[in-house]
Amino acid sequence: MTIAKLDPSTTTFPAPDRLDPKLLAAARELDAATLHEAAGKIGVLPPAIKPVGQGFKICGTAVPVQCPGGDNLWLHRALSDAQAGDVLVVHVSGQYEHGYWGEIMSTAAKARGLAGLVIDGCVRDVTLLENIGFPVFARGLCIRGTSKDFSARGWINAPTLFDDVTVHAGDLIVGDADGLVCIPRAHIPAAIDAARQRATREAAECLQLANGAMSTLQLYGWE
């Protein structure tokens, strides 16, 4: 029996305009935790998703991807569609323990100028991924292979839920060793301004604490 192939264009949506390069440059100077706090404590992506390489950091425009469990064909499609500076933010329908991404895909993504991969699932080839240097954040490592079902439905650039955070195409994704944050597109300029102010204030506070000028209780008026 022949199984009809699904037309991927039916669930692949147009990407919004890419983020202003000046906003991205400003965001790269900030850490994920500061952006999260300054934006009103929003946007934390699942903390189980961690960088798989030493020093990996991510800052770029979100391209949400929904894959069928155990299948990475839609991830290949998203990799082909994405543009320089994009971050693939991938949901694997709760079937974490497959190696959805590895050396081949990291090599292709780096050549295309993508800004990183965030996947709520596992990857493989960790030593090679570190050597390639393309930033990958994943739930873990697994060598179990994936399928390529041309009849299975997935989505690219559709709103995608990660725990309690919905990632939309065009949102800002920032990640570092502490975690990942998604800032909604409309809130990005205000979040960056607030994060800069917070970083400046905290630097001054740390100086006071380092000098022994006061305790944290005194600093924050909690006595």
Q: What is the phi/psi pair of residue 21, to 5°? A: -55, -30
Extract the tokens encoding 6: 């699904």
Extract the tokens encoding 71: 């299948």
Strand duo 116-123 + 136-141: pairing: parallel
Ligand-binding annotation for 103, yes or no, is yes
Extract the tokens encoding 131: 């050597």
Q: Which of 28, 15, 110 is nearest to 65 (CA)?
A: 15
- Alpha-carbon distance 2 to 151, whole Å? 11
Ligand-binding annotation for 125, yes or no, is yes
Ligand-binding annotation for 124, yes or no, is yes
Q: What is the phi/psi pair of residue 168, to 5°? A: -105, 150
Ligand-binding annotation for 104, yes or no, is yes
Could you give the dihedral angle defined by the CA atoms of residues 105, 106, 111 and 117, in that order, rounded to the nearest 10 degrees? 100
* Cα–Cα distances in angstroms (integers) from residue 77 to residues 73, 109, 150, 158, 185, in the given order: 6, 12, 11, 14, 24
- Alpha-carbon distance 135 to 51, whole Å? 7
User: For residue 104, what are the contacts with CB-CB under 8 A and spacing of at least 6?
Assistant: none
Binding-site annotation: residue ranges: 102-105, 124-125
Binding-site annotation: residue ranges for Mg(2+): 124-125
Binding-site annotation: residue ranges for substrate: 102-105
